[in-house]
Chain A
C-alpha cells in the first residue's frame, strides 16, 4: 500500500517508496523533488521565494525559501537513511502567471535560479525540469521509480 502525501505551500515532506509525494498548483512557486534511488527515500519541497535573508520573517519560516528549505529537505532525507552524495533532483514550477508592467511579478524565474544555485552548492545534479512559461503545474513524485509527473490545466500530463 502506498500513501499519497500532500505538501502545502511553503512546506516540505520526505517519504520512503512506495509512498507518493504531491503538491498542487505551483504557479511562480517551485517544487523540488530529491531522490536517493539506492534506499528509495524521496523528498519534496514547495518554495515560494528565493532568499530567506532578504525577508524580515525569513528565519521564522525557513521552508518558504529556496536557500533555507533545500538544506532542511536534505537533512530530513538523511535521517531516513539517504546519502547526499547519491541524491538527484527534478524540479518544476517557476511560472510567470501574470504579465504586468511591474518587475515584481517575475519572481518565478528568480525562484528557479535560486533553486539551481542551492542544488549546485550541495552538488546535487538536476536530472529533469519543467519550469518557466506562464501556466500552473501540479507535481507528483514517485520515489519508487524516480518519475516526476506534471499535470497542467491546458497541457495535460507529462512524465519526467
Chain B
C-alpha cells in the first residue's frame, strides 16, 4: 500500500507522467476545437513536486492566477486543478464574447465572463479525465468546476489543506501552449486520495513493493 506520493517508485512516476502527458494533450486539443483555433503545444514537463515548487513555478505566492478546481469521484476520488495565467482568460473571452482588454480580476464579478471561463475549464477537465479513464479502465465522474482568479498561494491553500493526508506533493504537469502567437502558461495538478492512488497503480499494473 502506498501512503502518499513520496512512496511512488520511479516506474510508477513514469506511468503517471505518461498519463499526465496524454491527458493534458487531450485537454489542449479540446480547447483548440472549442476556440476554433490552432494550438501549438510543447511537450509537457511532468513531475511529482511539492507545493512550494508549484507556487514558485507559477511566479510566486502573490502572482495572480486563474484556478479551476474540479472534484472527481468514482474510482478516482480527489481533484484536478488547472492553473492558468492571464492570457488564458483573455483568449477565451475575446474568442467567445468578443471582449478585449479584460481585467482578469473582475471576471468573478461578471456572470457571463465567469461562466465562459468555467465552461472552458469544464471541457478541458472532461477531456483530461476521459483520456485517463480510457487508459486505466477506471470509472471517473466529475463535479462542475469551481473557479477563482486570485493570488497563487491563496488558491493553493485549497488542495494543500483538503488533501494534506496525501502528503505535500502533487502530480504536476507544465504544459504551456500557444494560441494566435500568444503564449499561455498552463499547469495542471492532480491529487487523488490515497485509496484512489493505490487503485490507479493497480489498474496500471505497477507493483509498489
> Residues on A close to B: CB < 8 A?
9, 24-29, 48-49, 55-56, 95, 97-102, 104-105, 107, 134-138, 151, 153-154
Contact A136 B155 (CB under 8 A): yes
Taken together as a complex, chains A and B put the C-alpha atoms of A134 and B155 apart, in Å, by 10
Chain A residues with CB under 8 Å of B108's CB are 134
Fill in one digit per residue for B130-149: 1 if any A CB lies within 8 Å of its CB, else 0: 00000000000001101111
Q: How far is it, in angstroms, between the C-alpha of A66 and the C-alpha of B50 when the chains are bound?
A: 23
Contacts of A100 in B (CB 8 A): 69, 71, 143, 146
Contact present for B151 and A138 (CB under 8 Å): yes
Shortest B78–chain A CB gap in Å is 12
Please tell me the number of chain B residues within 8 Å of chain A, measured between CB atoms: 30
- A sample of 22 inter-chain contacts (CB < 8 A) reads A24-B153, A25-B151, A25-B152, A25-B154, A27-B154, A28-B158, A28-B161, A95-B154, A97-B155, A98-B69, A101-B71, A101-B144, A104-B162, A107-B161, A107-B162, A134-B148, A136-B150, A136-B153, A136-B154, A151-B62, A153-B64, A153-B150
Instruction: Pick from A99, A102, A105, A137: contact of B154, CB below 8 A.
Output: A137
A102 touches B62 (CB 8 A): no
Residues of B contacting A101 in the complex (Cβ-Cβ under 8 angstroms): 71, 143-144
Q: In the complex the two chains form, is B71's CB within 8 Å of A97's CB?
A: no
